[in-house]
Structure 1
Amino acid sequence: MLGTIREFWNDQRGIAMILVAIMLPVLVGLALLAIDMSRATGLHNDLQKGVDALALAAAAELDGNSDAITRANRAVANLLANTTKFSTAGDHTLALSDVTVKYLTGIPASDSTTLTADGVDSNGVTWASTDPKAVRFAEVTINASGLADGAGAFETIFPASVVGSNNRMDLQPQAVAGFTNALCQFTPMFICNPYASLGALQTALSGTKKPMIWLKEQTGGNNAQYGPGNYGFLSSPEGDKSAQALTEMFAVTNPPACYDQNGVKTRPGNVTPVNDGINTRFDIYPNGNSGKLVPSSAPPSPNVRKGMVTKKTGNNCTYEAPNSGQESNYKKLPKDNCFTSGSCTQAGVLGDGSWDFNTSANSYWPVNHGNASTSGVLAACGASPSRYCVYKYEIDNPTLKSGQEKTPPQCNTTTQTADRRLIYVAIIDCVANQVKGGNQTLPVQAFSSVFITEPAGGPPNADIYGEIQDISTTVGQGTLKKLQRNEAQLYR
């Protein structure tokens, strides 16, 4: 008997079966967990792609127009279809009932600050809005399952209930996309809004008359407050360039820069006046014709009328101010009348669009075009024409009678389009944003085109006179759309 017991105790045959019996549930459980993880990852991936696409489609419509949210909702409901697998509902096409869509005016600065499906962040700040002109972001979140299985309902193969857990869970991915409005081929310059509000500027540009603005460089140092009529420079997206390179960006036809309306950065440090770059548009080039400040890279406008006398000596060609005996035969586009009377608003820098077109023999039209009829230009430009419209009319009518000064450039005959005398600037509320010096990131109220009416001044004043033409807001004329790059992008 003792021998039999001893043999049984020492017999190791079949021990593997015991180990397998113990480990098999563990191995099967791990395998089921691996399968569940793969299924959950696949479902989450499908859902995330779905909400990403829906958020992008909605955000692409948030352009600030009054029907922006209506169009965004239509995009979410009708324009996209996305099918998921691995949920308890099997193959499932995302429907509007599967998601919550909210429109936000902004998003938290840190990605670690979470957002609920209702657009409230973890700090209790509500970002959601129903104002179509204010919202800039679309948030799309997968809904939790109710009585019926939702798009994110997931049931495990692994019997989690055995270990006191739940066999079902909801996957609720979220996506936030925003609308970005940028302008490219843009001169790196900002101006302080000369009006009390953007709405007032929009009203001023609504008619045929266009207000003149006297742009002054702020030269008071880094602590000087910018105010209406001041201008400054923007940092290039490629980094701050040398003074020469910055000047060239004001000279070339298509400056290599794009700027985002959500924020632009002001250029730090003192900047040499860029009049040499601007004045290439008037067929005026610096001595030496260095870099890109040459006619081949920076051709003159087809209309360079500027009240100056052409002087040719041998192969040299320049322009100079008329002497006392010539003054009556040369006249540049005049400033607004209030600049002469001293009655312009905003500390004398903002005109009202009223200028001396044709009130006497010394007015712009008779000096430059004699007794030529004004019926054509008034039909094209209105009873109170803008200087830019008159300028374009002179280009479009090359047979128009001309006085002593000719319309085309006389020194360099390679010209560019009529838009050559337009510069594009960012309009900033310098008072509200307390703009001082450089290295500030500032929101843009709008982008604007400004018609340069005469050659820019050199140091130390560096004044620029321009006529504001159009702005990039929804009530603008749309002339800046060719420069705009509107796109939606994911932020979360």
Structure 2
Amino acid sequence: MISHAPIHRFLADQSGAVAATYGLSLFALIMVGGVGFDYARLAGMDSELQNGADQAALAGATQLDGKSGACSRAAAAAIGLVTNTTILASTHSISVASESACDATGTVRFWQNRDATQAATSDANARYIELDVAARSVDYALTPVGGLLHATSKASAMAGIGSSICKVPPVFMCNPAEASDVSFNTPDYIGKGIRLIANDGGGNYGPGNFGYLQSNAGNGAQAVAQTLGRTEIPGDCLGIDGVDTKPGVQVSVLDALNTRFDVYANGLNQACGNGNGLCPPSANTRKDLMHKGGTGNCAFQTGNGNGWHEAPHPYVPTSATTPLTAAQITGLSPMGYPRDMCHAVSLTGSCAKGQIGDGNWDRNAFFKTNGANYPSTFDVGGTFGTAAPTRYQVYRYEAANAGSRLQIQADGSDTSRPQPYCQAPGVPVGGVSGGNGAADRRVISVAVINCQSQGIGGASSGVQVQKWVDVFLVEPAVARKSGSTKLTEQSDVYVEVIRETSLGSGGGSSAAQMIRRDVPYLVK
């Protein structure tokens, strides 16, 4: 008789039941493990590609110097950097397609702005480079068990040059023509006076206001004073395109700016060192103030005491357009470089463009009142090549001919001192023989900002700079009066536009007035 017990035991045995389940799930388990393994390979390749794109964009950005061939050189630098191998991709070479045109098409694109909304049209305006690295694929090792064979990845990057301007006082002015000229076309303003006003009324800054930039020189008025007065300016360099504004009006710090005119208020030791030696004047200190007393009397005085004070017979025009007559000039004290006539007639002036003058200053009165320096036969047109030289041109001419053009001149007990008296000999005028490459003490570079459109008020970060311009400091910042009528505020800074600041070429440049430093940076 055949026993069926073994068969029954086999059919009843459940000890191997899990094997079938495991066998069926094996494919899924292998796929899950494969996804982790292959995803790590894909992520690694993506990182390689992005790193390559980043480095290529940075390499290309270093060539965007605005000169001829900039786009071609930038593309070549970018392409050359990423012509290499990626270990994790199934196709090993990384490449960027050749592209050298200054436009925003193809795999290498050039832009004028960091938002990539304005395509570059020439080497001169190509400021940012954007590029794509060709897509690469990874053949999966284990994931094909689930039917997935490969995946692709690509990368792109954008970079530009981050430039800084150094060795300049951290000063900005709100574009006085923002309503009509948002770009502040500098050639339109060369030779014209601008009355800059401190924002001492509070609130947001408006056209023609001036203020200070954050440069990490320290907090408080003394730190700002050091940046305005010293030849060795403390603090960091300032971004050419973007800056942070510093809160506070701090009118008192203009005493430090006045040291450039040989005017030393009391209490400047912390800003200018013992004896004020850290804040020397320009070698040409021609100004409308006259002096009484010795070298120890160097502060501005409102009365008749020793020190600097308003001339006893100051220049105060009666017309915004007509120069003084010979009779009106007779008896005037020696003049400093005056304001434009339309500004000089009153505290607020009557210029057609408000705080922007017209460049018409009373040249005849200036030369006539400084008769000890200029004979009646002095030929203005023959000397300057124009009958209407700018104040800055006269300033440099006088510095170059100091022996005959910067002589002291008296009016009663007061003396005009167009050369340093309190801190002699002063710093030679820049660009004049004997200047020794020193920064001109009466020329500063200021950032022009459209304050209204950006809502600048107090401490503002990431403020866009329209451009940097060089301005000539025309007169000390002091309160002047004609009788009881106020003519200038202590918080006024009157300047003449010289030119747009020359920032040199990409790769860095240096000059006495400033140093430019360039560093490539990633935008995205």
TM-score, with length taken from structure 2 = 0.70
Evaluate the alpha carbon distance shift between residue 300 and residue 81 of structure 1 in structure 2; reply closer, same or farther with a 3 A threshold: farther
Evaluate the alpha carbon distance shift between residue 80 and residue 171 of structure 1 in structure 2; reply closer, same or farther with a 3 A threshold: closer
Q: CA deviation at 1:187?
A: 2.3
The residue aligned with 2:209 is 231
| Structure 1 residue runs without a partner (length 5+) | 9-17, 109-118, 120-126, 144-150
The residue aligned with 1:266 is 245
Q: 2:336 aligns with which of 332, 335, 340?
A: 332
Q: Aligned partners of 1:481 and 1:3: how far apart in 2? A: 108
The one-letter amino acid of 1:177's match is A
Alignment of 1:368-447 (within 5 A): 368-370=373-375, 378=383, 383-404=387-408, 405-413=416-424, 415-418=426-429, 419-436=440-457, 439=460, 442-447=463-468
Q: Aligned partners of 2:511 and 2:449: how far apart in 1? A: 20
The residue aligned with 1:112 is none
Q: Aligned partners of 1:439 and 1:92: how far apart in 2? A: 43
8 A contact 1:185–1:256 mirrored in 2: no
Q: Aligned partners of 2:128 and 2:157: how far apart in 1? A: 10
SS in 1 for 2:451: coil
Indicate whether 1:164 and 2:147 are aligned: yes
8 A contact 1:394–1:407 mirrored in 2: no
Q: CA deviation at 1:279?
A: 0.4
> Segments of 4+ in structure 1 off by > 6 A?
1-5, 20-35, 63-68, 473-476, 478-481
Q: 1:140 aligns with which of 128, 131, 134?
A: 131
Evaluate the alpha carbon distance shift between residue 84 and residue 136 of structure 1 in structure 2; reply closer, same or farther with a 3 A threshold: same
Evaluate the alpha carbon distance shift between residue 25 and residue 250 of structure 1 in structure 2; reply closer, same or farther with a 3 A threshold: same
Q: Aligned partners of 1:260 and 1:142: how far apart in 2? A: 30
8 A contact 1:103–1:137 mirrored in 2: yes
Q: Select between 237-246 and 293-302 the one with higher mean Cα deviation.
A: 237-246
Indicate whether 1:483 and 2:504 are aligned: no
Q: CA deviation at 1:169?
A: 1.6
The residue aligned with 2:437 is none
Indicate whether 1:471 and 2:500 are aligned: yes
8 A contact 2:448–2:465 mirrored in 1: yes
SS in 2 for 1:171: strand
SS in 2 for 1:465: strand
Alignment of 1:54-93 (within 5 A): 54-60=56-62, 72-73=74-75, 75-77=77-79, 81-93=83-95
Alignment of 1:339-378 (within 5 A): 339-340=343-344, 344-347=351-354, 349-358=355-364, 362=368, 366=371, 368-370=373-375, 378=383
The one-letter amino acid of 1:241's match is N
TM-score, with length taken from structure 1 = 0.74
The one-letter amino acid of 1:187's match is P
Q: Aligned partners of 1:76 and 1:455: how far apart in 2? A: 51
The residue aligned with 2:119 is 129
Evaluate the alpha carbon distance shift between residue 250 and residue 59 of structure 1 in structure 2; reply closer, same or farther with a 3 A threshold: same
Q: Aligned partners of 2:423 and 2:118: how far apart in 1? A: 57
SS in 1 for 2:187: helix
8 A contact 1:329–1:403 mirrored in 2: no
Evaluate the alpha carbon distance shift between residue 361 and residue 172 of structure 1 in structure 2; reply closer, same or farther with a 3 A threshold: closer
Q: CA deviation at 1:51?
A: 1.0
8 A contact 1:280–1:293 mirrored in 2: no
Q: Select between 309-318 and 180-189 the one with higher mean Cα deviation.
A: 309-318
Q: Select between 305-314 and 30-39 the one with higher mean Cα deviation.
A: 30-39
The residue aligned with 1:111 is none
Q: CA deviation at 1:67?
A: 7.6
8 A contact 2:295–2:422 mirrored in 1: no
Q: Select between 20-29 and 321-330 the one with higher mean Cα deviation.
A: 20-29
Q: Aligned partners of 2:191 and 2:82: how far apart in 1? A: 44
Indicate whether 1:247 and 2:225 are aligned: yes
Q: Select between 298-307 and 86-95 the one with higher mean Cα deviation.
A: 86-95
The one-letter amino acid of 2:427's match is Q
SS in 2 for 1:390: helix
Q: Aligned partners of 1:298 and 1:134: how far apart in 2? A: 39
The one-letter amino acid of 1:56's match is L
8 A contact 2:83–2:93 mirrored in 1: no
Please give the per-residue CA displacement for 1:336-373, whole angstroms capped at 9, x wherever unaligned.
233346652222x2222233334786255x45444695
Please give the per-residue CA displacement for 1:459-482, whole angstroms capped at 9, x wherever unaligned.
964111111112248999x97994
Q: Aligned partners of 1:270 and 1:316: how far apart in 2? A: 28
Please give the per-residue CA displacement for 1:360-411, whole angstroms capped at 9, x wherever unaligned.
86255x45444695579835x7553222222223223343354324543111
SS in 2 for 1:249: helix
SS in 2 for 1:277: helix
RMSD between superposed Cα atoms in Å: 4.6
Indicate whether 1:288 and 2:262 are aligned: no
Q: Aligned partners of 1:371 and 1:74: how far apart in 2? A: 64
8 A contact 2:313–2:333 mirrored in 1: no
| Structure 2 residue runs without a partner (length 5+) | 11-19, 100-105, 299-306, 315-329, 409-415, 430-439, 480-487
SS in 1 for 2:336: coil
Please give the per-residue CA displacement for 1:118-139, whole angstroms capped at 9, x wherever unaligned.
x7xxxxxxx4634558775433
Q: Aligned partners of 1:203 and 1:316: how far apart in 2? A: 41
Please give the per-residue CA displacement for 1:200-234, whole angstroms capped at 9, x wherever unaligned.
632325xxx611111122332226x613xx22323
The one-letter amino acid of 1:211's match is K
Q: CA deviation at 1:61?
A: 5.1
Please give the per-residue CA displacement for 1:238-257, whole angstroms capped at 9, x wherever unaligned.
38721222222211122424
Q: Select between 414-423 and 84-93 the one with higher mean Cα deviation.
A: 84-93
Q: CA deviation at 1:310?
A: 3.6
Q: CA deviation at 1:451?
A: 0.9
Identity of aligned residues (%): 28
Q: Aligned partners of 1:353 and 1:180: how far apart in 2? A: 35
Evaluate the alpha carbon distance shift between residue 164 and residue 78 of structure 1 in structure 2; reply closer, same or farther with a 3 A threshold: closer
Indicate whether 1:305 and 2:286 are aligned: yes
Q: Aligned partners of 1:33 and 1:231: how far apart in 2? A: 62
Q: Aligned partners of 1:355 and 1:314: how far apart in 2? A: 32
Q: 1:153 aligns with which of 134, 137, 145?
A: 137
Q: Select between 22-31 and 449-458 the one with higher mean Cα deviation.
A: 22-31
Q: Aligned partners of 1:271 and 1:282: how far apart in 2? A: 20
8 A contact 1:310–1:410 mirrored in 2: no
Q: Select between 134-143 and 65-74 the one with higher mean Cα deviation.
A: 65-74
The residue aligned with 2:312 is 323
Count of aligned pairs: 455
Please give the per-residue CA displacement for 1:280-317, whole angstroms capped at 9, x wherever unaligned.
11111121332023432211111112133343448555
Q: 1:275 aligns with which of 229, 254, 265?
A: 254
Q: CA deviation at 1:37?
A: 5.5
Q: CA deviation at 1:75?
A: 4.5
Q: Aligned partners of 1:71 and 1:91: how far apart in 2? A: 22
